[in-house]
Amino acid sequence: MIPVKNICVVGAGNMGHQIALSAALAGYKVKCMDINPEILNNAKNFVEKYLPERVAKGKLSEDAANAARANLSFTDNLKIAAEDADFVIEAVLEKLELKRKIFAELDQICPPHALLTTNSSYIVSSKIADVTSRPDKVCNMHFFNPALVMKLVEVVKGPHSSDETVETTMEVARKMGKIPVLLKKEIYGFLVNRILSAIRNEALYLYDMGVASYEDIDTAVVNALGHPLGPFRLMDLTGIDLSYYVSMERYQETGNPAHKPSPIIVEKFLKKEWGRKTGKGFYDYSN
């Protein structure tokens, strides 16, 4: 396996900064990059609030918190973030062309030995790897939201990915305290999201058809199926904008009208009612 000491996380949004902090807590030197100053500022504020809270609750020692803080830095410059990286985790929007652009830039910046992984929820790395000169060093490393809490990481071996790349990615996940599962071949949506998508799509269909309210659908799923969150609460958590982008990417790829976003998802997206991140989605989080 490739020795990993320095990690670059591209994207400092909700997923990105939590992945970065998880890696810093595990002892890696981490640089988290984003071009949006507001997102970077929110990420820094999150870290400065999260670590003292964990110490106060007795979940983290003062020394561990100080070490994590020292391990983690933020920048708006991709070259600074990636020039000494052994391992990169890309966590930007679910837009294929954006990811391809970033991976092409990373390939030019990163040392030749560096592995390039994508945290994409749906886009397989074979759609990205060809823009690099190191396709054997590219794979999916999919975390779940919230990344500091959720243990599972899906590692997807593309036809281009070397065994060494996959083994190193699995080991990085383990060192971060995660439980990695290996997908031996690429498939749209991977494991968990294929199952969740079936539930979410059916829930949206029932709502769009006026069969039941989103509150009652959530209540049914929580109290009959034992899920901690109903599908609409979960969409609010992960971001309704993400649901929109994922569906649009799939529709543009297949041309199948069945893959278009649900009418209520389009409506929420256009209103910028994207869930917890904006204070309102299906539910109101203004308070």
Q: Check if 121 is active-site.
A: yes
Over the Cα atoms of the chain, what is R_g? 19
Q: List, in sequence order, the alpha helices (H) in the chain.
A: 14-25, 37-56, 62-71, 78-82, 96-109, 163-175, 192-208, 214-225, 231-238, 240-254, 263-270
Name which residue leads in pLDDT, 246 or 202: 202
Token pair, residue 271, equals: 């209103």
Domain 6-183, second-level architecture: 3-Layer(aba) Sandwich (3.40)
Q: What is the mean pLDDT of residues 10-15?
A: 96
Q: Check if 142 is active-site.
A: yes
Using DSSP's 3-state secondary structure scheme, residue 115 falls into strand
Q: Which residues pair with 10 in a beta bridge?
A: 33, 90
b/e sequence 5-20, b meaning 16+ C-beta within 10 Å: ebbbbbbbbbbbbbbb
Which one of 17, 22, 119, 154 is the catalytic residue?
A: 154
The DSSP code for 262 is P
State yes or no: pLDDT of 158 exceeds 90.
yes
Q: Check if 154 is active-site.
A: yes
Which one of 22, 119, 120, 121 is the catalytic residue?
A: 121
Q: What is the mean pLDDT of residues 231-249?
A: 93
Which one of 6, 14, 142, 273 is the catalytic residue?
A: 142
- pTM of the predicted model as reported, rounded to 2 decimal places: 0.84
- Annotated domain spans of the chain: 6-183, 193-278
Which one of 6, 161, 193, 243 is the catalytic residue?
A: 193
Token pair, residue 83, equals: 């020039």
Question: In the chain, pLDDT over 70 holds for what percent of residues?
Answer: 100
pLDDT tens sequence across 165-200:
999 999 999 999 999 999 999 998 999 989 999 999
Q: Check if 125 is active-site.
A: no
pLDDT tens sequence across 99-149:
999 999 999 999 999 999 999 988 999 999 999 999 999 999 999 989 999
The CATH class for the domain spanning 193-278 reads mainly alpha
